[in-house]
Amino acid sequence: MNNEELALRMVIEDLELGKWVQNGFTISHWDGRTIFVIGGIPGEIVDIKIDKTTKQEWFGTVIRFKQTKSNRISVDCPSFLSCGGCSYRHISYQEELTIKKSLLADRFPKWKDSLSLISGSENHYRNNVQWKQKKKEVGFYKKGSHDIDSRTSQFCLTVDPRLLLSNLSKEIQNKIKHTKDILLRLSHSGISIYDREETEFFLKETIIRIPKGGFSQINQFLLIPWLDKICSYLSTNEMVAELFCGSGMIGLYAQKHIEKLIGLESHPLSIKFANLNASANNLKQYSYICTNLYKDPIPVSLMKVSTWIVNPPRSGLSKDINASIGKSQCKKLIYSSCNAATLQRDLIELETFGFQIEDLVLVDFFPRTHHFEVLALLVRD
């Protein structure tokens, strides 16, 4: 048995936990090693089980408490720390928001006292779910494994109750009976199996159709507040370039502020539906182009556009995209990011082209988990 295998069997006793760090961990040190611990609170003394090791760092989960802090609350989910979804169910939601704001401010210290927040209900916010199914067990994977925690498909506080297995209609249950991955999403007509079916819903008066397998933000309560905040950055009669536009949701919702829009996305089916959505909403001045934003150059037609909206995946923008924005006539850049680390990297680069942050907002799309969205407004003269 090698050292790594021995470590993964190890229990460390009487470990004092340090401050909160990224990804829902507290940090600690033992025998010259840095250990990131999930399930604890700074100042607690605990026993932990080692889950993962690297050359520089170990990762562990609290299994026993020797000394707890007064801000610890009763955990309201039997699968907490088992399924690996939630990170903060042992503290209040208000304290979680304070932690997230502090961690974001660590990346953007100039905004420590100016960060704003958009948050909503901490529970039942997920409008879609991806259950795993294996040997008649259905649920989320257990943390760090491909074993299924079947309790999660019957009880999960982040998921809209209509998507829980026991609440599904017999028709849907029959359709997913022998499916390895069960992908369900709320739509205006009920529940769609979204790897097989389109999803259609309304955002106020705007109709949105998403192709099968297409992406959509998961927080049903914060979708409109997030979009309204984006609209607040726009004036009227704006000329807009929208990168990573998906099926066109942002620009479609912001139509009252936009005179003309060109959207770019790498997935042909998403572009097809973006154009269909524009037609359905009678937006003849909208056009969408399929292009690989990480490989292909930005079309020349966008270089004179003064307002850009970008909503990239976790990898953020590329150096070439940042350079294209820098060389363009863009004066206003609205950046929605699901990864604060790549946002920080990109904004440092964009500052070299004269952009400055004018507003920074934490949008808590993912309560009780360590994830969150960040909305940044950048401007230059």
Residue 39 DSSP label: S
DSSP string, 309-351: EE---TT---HHHHHHHHHS---EEEEEES-HHHHHHHHHHHH
Q: What is the pTM of this model?
A: 0.94
Distance CA 269, CA 44 (A): 50
Residue 164 tokens, joined? 């829980």
Rg (CA), the chain: 22
Predicted confidence at residue 5, as pLDDT, reads 59
| Superfamily (CATH H level) for 3-72 | Nucleic acid-binding proteins (2.40.50.140)
User: In terms of CATH architecture, what is 105-121+218-379?
Assistant: 3-Layer(aba) Sandwich (3.40)
Which of 158, 160, 141 lies closest to 149 in space, CA to CA?
141
CA distances from 41 to 82, 123, 155, 315, 364 (A): 18, 21, 25, 30, 21
Predicted confidence at residue 355, as pLDDT, reads 98
Distance CA 105, CA 370 (A): 15
Dihedral, CA of residue 208, residue 223, residue 75 and residue 150, to nearest 10:
10
Given the structure tokens 């950055």, which residue do they identify? 233
Annotated binding site for S-adenosyl-L-methionine: 217, 244, 265, 311
Given the structure tokens 């997935």, which residue do they identify? 267
Asked whether 99 and 85 are in contact (CB, 8 A), the reply is: no
Side chain identity at residue 166, one-letter code: S
Predicted confidence at residue 4, as pLDDT, reads 59
Asked whether 47 and 14 are in contact (CB, 8 A), the reply is: yes
Asked whether 35 and 59 are in contact (CB, 8 A), the reply is: yes
Same fold, 3-72 and 105-121+218-379: no
Asked whether 330 and 307 are in contact (CB, 8 A), the reply is: yes
Predicted confidence at residue 294, as pLDDT, reads 97
Backbone angles phi, psi at 208, to 5 degrees: -125, 130
3-state SS, residue 78: coil
Dihedral, CA of residue 351, residue 355, residue 359 and residue 361, to nearest 10:
-50
pLDDT tens digits, the chain, 381 residues: what are they? 555 555 667 899 999 999 999 999 999 999 999 999 999 999 999 999 999 998 889 999 999 999 999 999 999 999 999 988 999 999 999 999 999 999 999 999 999 999 999 999 999 999 999 999 998 899 999 988 899 999 999 999 999 999 999 999 999 999 998 888 999 999 998 999 999 999 999 999 999 999 999 989 999 999 999 999 999 999 999 999 999 999 999 999 999 999 999 999 999 999 999 999 999 999 999 999 999 999 999 999 999 999 999 999 999 999 999 999 999 999 999 999 999 999 999 999 999 999 999 999 999 999 999 999 999 999 999
Distance CA 117, CA 374 (A): 9
Catalytic residues: 338
Asked whether 45 and 16 are in contact (CB, 8 A), the reply is: yes
Q: Where are the beta strands (DSSP E) in 5-84?
A: 11-16, 26-30, 33-38, 45-53, 57-67
Asked whether 35 and 60 are in contact (CB, 8 A), the reply is: yes
Predicted confidence at residue 112, as pLDDT, reads 93
Domain ranges of the chain: 3-72, 105-121+218-379, 128-205
Distance CA 260, CA 169 (A): 43
